[in-house]
Amino acid sequence: MADIEFVQFHPTVLWQGAGARGQQPLISEAVRGEGAYLLNGAGERFMVARHEMAELAPRDVVSKGIVAMMEEEGSENVFLDCRHLGTRYLKDRFPTIWERLAERGIDMAHDLIPVAPAQHYHSGGILTDLRGRTTQQGLYAIGEAACTGVHGANRLASNSLLEGLVFGARAAADAASTVSDGTVTQREPVDRPGPSALVPATMRPQIQSLAHRGAGPVRDGAGLARAGERLAAIRGRFHHEGALTGQPQIAEWETSNVLACASALVAAAHAREETRGGHLRTDFPDTDDARWKVRLATHLDPDGDLQVLRAPLQI
């Protein structure tokens, strides 16, 4: 895995409470582009004092401003105000958003919309070459699962087409070739050595909360260290002791995967002591090319422990 510390956060995701699960509705940046305001709990436009472009500042700047405002207020969300744009205009300009909000009892022409930043895209993923090949022979990755390097440290939206179309075609051609020439052959499954267990699904909200508090839109070393220690304790309890109550279901597999991804992300974010792209460290606010113009790769060693390696960027 590589570059997984670079996470793009969408600044205005509909806030539906701490118990909300699954993919949350995005309130498009186009709504702010058409003149909507961000308000704090006192009804004040707080972005005006934080950036010259106010609500139209880049995504990471707006996300940082919202997080800072929520910390100042002790709140879980801010509000998007588009009431001044009018019913007919909003319904015609944003029909999908209008319908999604209406389904949840929100009239965007008359109600404030509760919003908060949320994870939108990983620029990193499974490390591949330019043909989609990973470090495991016979395993290919493309799209958002892959880290090809084309996004750099922050997502470039149009490159998603490149990820899917170009690398998809290259990976398919290479996979067909390696099978036809005998480079990759069918093998029998190999049993995983050592103890194994899954994490109970009931742990998922706690794991997600730890990862978001430690490695959310705004990060620092102390918060990342605390998150890393807590996640390591969960891994130790269930992975090494083999403890799991009840029969594992799909939710247990998913929760175990969430724990693995969260652990790797927090470890990489803690190791990168600078601010670059989607990775913002308040204790290291500057970009440091001299020390950190490198790729961080995470992997498991033979004992199953997480390791973070530094590797030069591919040119």
What is the signed CA dihedral for 110, 111, 117, 119, rounded to 10 degrees?
A: -80
Known catalytic residue at 59: yes
b/e 59-89 (16+ beta carbons within 10 angstroms → b): bbbbbbbbbebbeeeeeebbbbbbbebeeee
Residues 102 and 113: beta-carbon distance below 8 Å: no
Which residue in this structure is represented by tokens 């005998």? 182
- The values of phi and psi at residue 304, to 5°, are 85, 10
Residue with tokens 């304790």: 233
Nearest to 9 by CA among 233, 265, 310: 265
50, 59, 170, 204: which one is catalytic? 59
Q: How far apart are CA 230 and CA 242, in angstroms?
A: 18
Q: Which residues are marked as active site?
A: 59
